[in-house]
Structure 1
Amino acid sequence: MLETISKKIAAAEPLDAAEALWCLTEGDLLAVGILADGVRRAMHPVGRVSFVVDRNVNYTNVCQSQCKFCAFYRNVEDPDAYLLETAVILQKIEELVAQGGTQLLMQGGLHPSLTIDYFEELFRTIKGRFPKLQNHSLSPAEITHVAELSGLTVREALLRLKGAGLDSVPGGGAEILVDSVRQEISPKKIGWQGWAAVMREAAALGLPTTATMMFGSRERPEDIVEHLFRIRDLQDAGGSFTAFIPWTYQPGNTELGGEGATGVEYLKVLALSRLVLRNVPHLQASWVTQGAKLAQVALSFGADDLGGTMLEENVVAAAGCQFRMSQQEMIELIRGAGFTPARRTTVYEILEEY
């Protein structure tokens, strides 16, 4: 099987589901990693690894979805539930811009009372104060929730958000795009078709997007493969995914509990992602969940990007996973792996090499 797969990869032919599943369940980690590294080098021959200077601003932790894998959410009546004041959000953005940041990632929860009007006013204020900052915000689940609360279609909500200053849509909330898994870990959240519908509409409106996968909770290897193929099909059908970001479930402080994925499992899934998703330009290594050392190894398993420096991150940290990395540490990590570090925009325009 490895020989067949190697020939298909060399000929840039797409893998089928059986071949992808073999790589995941039976393929040797290093053999699959070498194939993924070859694809990465073919797609990005310059030898550059990029990152973006950004901040995650979690505007609220109130969420009706109550996903079993999430340690961050709170109910409205909880004493530590919050909704950040606009002045606080603007101060956080001010700090980001002062450090050379170019990307704002705003995500929160499915708040029961925040309609489209709230986000339009907030986004207009942000764009007015920080016109050059990329507003890369709101997951498909949040957009769907806001649309329903406001009596709008997803398309109408996206049009209004784009008009108010939304520049691109992050792929959060994908978890595993298989409804049997979603029913077990996040039964109140939109199904996989709902997630895909938002991404189709965003692409149709000219909004760049990303795609993610959270694995290591309750899914089977077949579900991981199904997820990857659904992302590939969405992209083939006119998607606007600039990058794919697989990351591992963090079980600390969650209702779901369990063990999570190992580093070896992470590298195998990462490498398979590069082999399957040749139509998605970039693959991010998740230093936030894996730490700097494994993220550095990931650069030899198909990844060409380290995502954001994340001046602030609260969701993964709520599960007890609190890796931090400065911009200089990230630059040194990339150099140490034998690549050229480069600061980029959200849409992968290179701003500076180091």
Structure 2
Amino acid sequence: MSAVDRILDKRLRGERLDLEDGVRLFESDEIEKLGHAANIMMQRVHPDPITTFVIGRNVNYTNVCDTFCTFCAFYRIPGSSEGYLLPDEVIFQKIKETEDVGGTEILMQGGTNPNLPFNYYTDLLRNIKLRFPNITMHSFSPAEIRKMQEVSGLSLEQVVRELREAGLDSLPGGGAEILDDRIRKQISRHKGTWRDWMDVMQMAHKVGLNTSATMVIGFGETMEERALHMLRIRDAQDQCIENKYDSKGFLAFIPFTFQPDNTGLKRERETPEAYLKTVAIGRLMLDNVPHLQSSWVTMGPEVGKLSLSYGCNDFGSTMMEENVVSSAGAVHKVNINSILELIREAGKIPAQRNTRYDILKVFKDGTQVERDFVMQN
């Protein structure tokens, strides 16, 4: 039995993988074998042949940013003539358009704009909830929350609690990149350490907010740094569970590849095979994070569809609007009908979910059906 076979057998027996196991899997070129094991583990957690998706919209409220990440093609420095801040009424209109097509989630993110006071965010959230009480605000990355803490002078806990009271429902995992300080110092020196990112997430869990976690490969990180990224997410999830917070912690893990076009960081694109390997290893190592989300926005619909047999159980968001990775050359777009078709082509039954991963609608044989046969995740 090869080393990879022994590691996969270990996981299929229900044992946890360690850092050395993760490194060995990342070094392996047996991608189909990893995908097969990951698919088995996915089916143990999600036995019904369901692939979920959420109807949502990205609202990038500002592109003004003083973090200056070398890999970002979206931001503009403070004072730039190309910088913008969306008027509240424009944001409200975007949310209305989302609700009009059955959308439930708004992923509102922007740059770390030093010109915005903390009450800008709390007032905006309150006004959104006043107008759209049923919309889920899955918004603001840890870097943005750190900027709110800086401009307000409040503690991290005060900032997160006040955001929640104002209407924040869930925290997205943006800005994780690679959770290791060596690579972060190279690509995003001003964004902070991996602990800065994780402390925000763990504070969100403490105050009762669910979150997601991302991972971006292709910055020149080592295989050990990739595996360590996953273990740090797993450890934080363990702590959330052990502390019995009023939160489910990280609901989803979303890996994707660095998009280099129009950025100051010139690197070769990672291959679809490297992405699929990362997806599979994520399912194998992150045994306490229930959902693994496909990243069709960066990889394209066909690779996204293939990821559904490598451990993913979710197809992500319809992404009615997206400006960040598209600025860096990722221009893949699909509509709701295309998502339904792609999921069916993968041999799965599509189902619309909300941000909490509650299933809202199941689509079977071209029609919406009741979800009585679906196990609630």
Sort the TM-score into its range (normalised by shorter chain). Answer: over 0.9
Count of aligned positions: 354
Distance 2:340 2:68 in 1: 37
What is the SS of the residue equivalent to 1:238?
helix
Corresponding position: 1:30 with 2:32 = yes
- Cross-structure match for 2:76: 74
Query: Are the counterparts in 1 of residues 256 and 275 from structure 2 also a CA contact under 8 Å?
Result: yes
**1:343 and 1:351 in contact (8 A); partners too:** yes
Q: 2:21 — aligned with what?
A: 19
After superposition, what is the alpha-carbon deviation per residue over 1:229-249, rounded to whole angstroms, capped at 9, x for unaligned?
000101011160000000110
Cα pair 1:185 1:218 within 8 Å, conserved:
no
Partner of 2:259: 250
Superposition deviation, residue 68 in structure 1: 0.4
2:218/2:267 contact within 8 Å kept = no
> What is residue 167 of structure 1 aligned with on the other side?
169
Quick check: 1:340 aligned with 2:349? yes
TM-score (norm 1): 0.99
| Residue 291 of structure 2 is aligned to residue 282 of structure 1 | yes
Q: Residue 317 of structure 1 aligns with which residue?
A: 326
| Counterpart code for 1:98 | D
Deviation at 1:33, TM superposition (A): 0.8
Query: Hey, what's the Cα distance between the residues in 2 that align with 1:26 and 1:319?
Result: 29
Whether 1:307 and 2:316 are equivalent positions in the alignment is yes
1:148 CA displacement: 1.2
Q: Which runs of 4+ in 1 moved over 4 A?
A: none
* Partner Cα separation in structure 2 for residue 223 and residue 339 of structure 1: 33
Residue deviations 1:10-61 (CA, integer Å, cap 9, x gap):
2211111111111110251111111111111111100100000000000000
Q: Distance between the aligned counterparts of 1:78 and 1:158, measured in 2? A: 29
Asked if 1 retains the 8 angstrom alpha-carbon contact of 2:22 and 2:224, the reply is no
Alpha carbons 1:104, 1:133 under 8 Å: kept = yes
Q: Does the residue aligned with 1:55 lie in a helix, a strand or coil?
A: strand
| Structure 2, gaps ≥5 residues long | 242-248, 364-377
- Offset of 1:2 from its aligned partner? 2.5
Percent same amino acid at aligned positions? 46
Q: Distance in 1 between matches of 2:294 and 2:180?
A: 23
CA distance in 2, matches of 1:247, 1:124: 32
| Contact preservation (8 Å) 1:2, 1:27 | no
Which stretches in structure 1 are left out of the alignment for 5+ residues?
none
AA paired with 1:322? V
- Letter of the aligned partner of 1:246 in structure 2? P
Per the alignment, in what secondary structure is the counterpart of residue 322 of structure 1? Answer: coil
The range that moved more, 66-75 or 20-29, is 20-29
Kindly provide the CA deviation profile for residues 286-341 of structure 1, in whole angstroms up to 9, marking residues without a partner as x: 00000010001100100000110011000011012110000110011000100010
Structure 2 letter corresponding to 1:176 = I
Distance 2:4 2:299 in 1: 28
Structure 2 equivalent of residue 9 of structure 1: 11
Match of 2:246 in 1: none
Q: Secondary structure at the match of 1:307?
A: strand
Q: Distance in 2 between matches of 1:313 and 1:270?
A: 22
Counterpart AA for 1:190: G
After superposition, residues 40-189 of structure 1 pair within 5 angstroms as 40-189=42-191
In 2, are the aligned partners of 1:217 and 1:260 still within 8 Å (CA)?
A: no
Task: Give the counterpart letter for 1:347 in structure 2.
Answer: R
Give the Cα separation in 1 of the matches to 2:325 and 2:101. 23
Q: Counterparts of 1:95 and 1:26 in 2: how far apart (Å)?
A: 45
Report the alpha carbon displacement of residue 63 of structure 1 after superposing the two structures with TM. 0.5
Q: Hey, what's the Cα distance between the residues in 2 that align with 1:178 and 1:9?
A: 25
Equivalent residue letter for 1:318:
S
**TM-score for the superposition, normalised by structure 2:** 0.93
The equivalent residue for 1:195 is 197
| TM-superposition CA deviations, 1:41-99 (whole Å, max 9, x none) | 11110010000000000000000001000000001222211000101100111111101
